[in-house]
Amino acid sequence: MKAYIFPGQGSQKPGMGKEIYDNIIESRNLFNKSNEVLGFNITNLMFEGTPEDLLQTKVTQPAIFIHSVISALTSKEFKPQACAGHSLGEFSALVSTKAISFEEGLRLVSIRANAMQEACQKTNGTMAAILGLENKIVEDVCNEIHEVVKPANYNCPGQLVISGEYNAVEKACQTLKEKGARRVLILPVSGAFHSDLMESAIKDLKKGIDQTEFKEPICKIYQNFSAKPVKDPEIIKMNLLSQLTGAVLWTQSVNEMINDGINEFVEVGPGNTLQGLIRKINPEVSVSKI
């Protein structure tokens, strides 16, 4: 069985989508529609922008979404039996499986990106990658710190990202080094995604979701918040909101898909980060890209 997986923030790159636009005529309407929905020329930033241009959350998230969804919708190979997306990628998965329209999906991603960027500006937060420790050790260290810090991304065995207030993340990093972490790295991000510091972003996203028609997707979506397969639109909506302050259970989601019979994963969108993570989660499954 085959699952399609969609990347999140961090997979952007200059020139993204240009090859699709140049070579697949039916993609151009969607690229042009993206500019209309967002009210600015995002395709120009995608095709010709600098890495710095693409680092702004309000640009990064829509750009990755646009590239990912258009890659899926214009591919003759795209026949999913299951889908999942890493954080932002969950919106790409939902549009690609017809749960929401392209325009509505892009509108929600834009609302989410702007709300997250505003939350970052109101708080002093950051994230850090912790390599080479068991999840429980990282979880226990975070729980012992009274300020906001928690696991945010369970990317693969031995790679967990923590998120929270800057001082709390620094404290956790120091303790985790002492406990034998192979590497501890503060990430170059604008804030503490997937932590309680994103609480203020929920209101705006909820308003957008409440105004959007959600249908049942054509296949099961393994959502980040629960790592479980979902088709019920109401549960999908709740999980999208919970994901803002909850951890991305990527390892758990992939293992759940494998347990359900998925043995082939196809990454859709810019970069190949998810292929690398899946190889570390289970080297026996097949990974590829469209």
Q: Catalytic site residues?
A: 87, 194
The SS3 call for residue 194 is coil
CB-based contact 263:1 (threshold 8 Å)? yes
- Half-sphere exposure (CA, 13 Å, Cβ side) for 55? 7
d(CA 80, CA 9): 22
CB-based contact 271:11 (threshold 8 Å)? yes
d(CA 114, CA 120): 10
**Assigned token pair, 239:** 């999980």
- Please tell me the chain's helix, strand, coil percentages from 3-state DSSP, rounded to the nearest 5: 50, 15, 35
Ramachandran category for residue 16: left, alpha or beta (phi over 0 → left; psi -120 to 50 → alpha): beta
